[in-house]
Chains A and B, each alone.
Chain A
Amino acid sequence: MPVEPPITSPRTLADAYAQLAEGPVTPIAGGTDLMVSLTGELGEPPERMLDLWHLDELRGIALDGDSLVLGALTTYTDLRRSSLCREHVPALVEAAATIGAAQIQNRGTIGGNAVNASPAGDTLPVLLALDATLVCGSVRGERDVPATAFWPGYRRTALAPDELLVRIRFPLVAGRASRFRKVGTRRAQSISKVVMALAYCAGTDGGLWTDVRLALGSVAPTPIRASATEAVLEGRPPIPAIAELAAETLAAELHPIDDVRSTAEYRRVVSARVLHRLIREAGGW
């Protein structure tokens, strides 16, 4: 039988913060990661839980100045239906469409994906590539953590035990293109063997790429930026010679591992091929 730890369902964020401040409680958002872990067979269950689902302060998709802001409880279905998201963060919408299937997309949240901190979490490389900021909140107030500092180690986040992820902010960058690719065993319900997000601004000056961001998941203990490969692409056009060089650089830069889903060699080769193809598609050759 699944375990049923005690849980409260606060209706305000302030109440939720107060409960978190009182002692160890485990938040639950859409439950699509957490419920699976509560079978009673996977180690110690949480002592007390905190239901975030009724906290409307953690919902909503809106423009705020020069950012697009998504509440932590934004589901994949919300993302896919949002015209703001389709316009400003298309790679995130593409990622959402590959996660689980309808049932998972209706409950799974972007906040849960980020805090679950699986190296295979599909939105994590997108957050890195789009320079997202994760806003964390507690009784002490709110603080901003850049995506590059949010996953310090394997399945760890920058959140303090009494903090919630409140929302995620994406800077709006004029002329930025973003792409997403996931390689799994089947189209639905599969965990990534390799997941990649690429963002860049293609200038009018002969299509040179600037502000290149390349991020990957499932190839390291945390989602990572591939900075050597970014440097190869920065200031260069998407032409065959650059695509070759970038793919080689990426293959040399990655140090994935063998696991149940794939092998290190497969991941390295496929990552390089996927990048090559993204560059080729962008270059139109």
Chain B
Amino acid sequence: MTAYRFAVNGAPVEVDVPGMRRLLDVLREDLALNGTKEGCGEGECGACTVLLDGSPVDSCLVPVCQVDGSAVLTVEGLAVAPTRPGQADGLDELQAAFLVTGGAQCGICTPGMLMAGRAYLDGGGGPDHDAIREAIAGNLCRCTGYTKIVEAIALAAVTNDGDAVR
């Protein structure tokens, strides 16, 4: 085994695990960050989406050896991420928007939706519904019918205080 070093939600971590362990399992089992969910385990549903060096990836498809030296952002990092201070109850504006529009029902898809949506907003994405739908095309939701999720991301895009590109 080799020790792999990377950052999770801004904090450095070191794990001594098999290099082929899925990032998803390292997060949930080894680092006890259970916010990231497993839906399908094969890249279809996006429930396990995290940001790897700012880009959305399915953490069920990424072996931890490939994360060495990178920065991972999980749903746990949204509310407290150092680049986003001072929202009400510490929520990221996208999380707050999900509460406003009712973007979560059972909640299994929500962490992945939040991360895919966050990446979209960080990339300068606006409130256009078609563009939002493309950005979350890799995230399945069996409850909401997507409309409220799309509305949440669009709402966050306009409440982003004009600093859409961070």
- Please report A residues at the B interface, Cβ cutoff 8 Å: 2-9, 28, 30-32, 35-36, 38-39, 49, 51, 53-54, 77, 100-104, 106-107, 187-189
Contacts and interface: CB of A to CB of B under 8 A. Distances in A.
Q: What range describes how many residues of B lie at the interface?
A: 20 to 34
26 contacts: A2-B22, A2-B41, A4-B19, A4-B20, A6-B19, A7-B19, A7-B65, A9-B2, A9-B19, A9-B65, A31-B63, A31-B66, A32-B43, A35-B43, A36-B42, A49-B20, A51-B19, A54-B66, A102-B56, A102-B137, A103-B43, A103-B116, A106-B56, A107-B62, A188-B137, A188-B138
Contacts of A35: 22, 42-43, 60-63
A285 to B, nearest CB: 29
A100 B138 contact: yes
A29 B18 CA distance: 17
B19 A39 contact: no
B31 to A, nearest CB: 16
Contact of A39 (B20, B41, B65, B119): B41
A24 to B, nearest CB: 16
Contacts of B66: 9, 31, 51, 53-54
Contacts of A188: 134, 137-138
Contacts of A30: 61
Chain A interface helix/strand/loop/mixed: loop
Contacts, number: 96
Contacts of B25: 2
B103 interface: no
A39 B62 contact: no
The listed residue with most B CB atoms (<10 A of its CB), out of A38, A39, A189, is A189
Nearest to B119: A102
B104 to A, nearest CB: 20
Interface string B61-73: 1110110100000
A140 B137 CA distance: 43
B68 A107 contact: no
Interface string B128-145: 000000110111000000
A102 B139 CA distance: 9
A187 B137 CA distance: 8
B65 A6 contact: no
B22 A189 contact: no
Most chain-A CB neighbours within 10 Å: which of B21, B60, B63, B138?
B63
Given A4-B20, A49-B20, A51-B19, A106 B57 contact: yes
Contacts of A101: 46, 134, 137-139
A38 B116 CA distance: 25
A56 B4 CA distance: 19
B138 A189 contact: yes
B55 interface: yes
B94 to A, nearest CB: 16
Contact of A189 (B44, B55, B68): B44
Contacts of B138: 100-104, 188-189
Contacts of B62: 31, 35, 107
B58 interface: yes
B124 to A, nearest CB: 14
A102 B43 CA distance: 11
A102 B116 contact: yes
Interface in B124-165: 134-135, 137-139
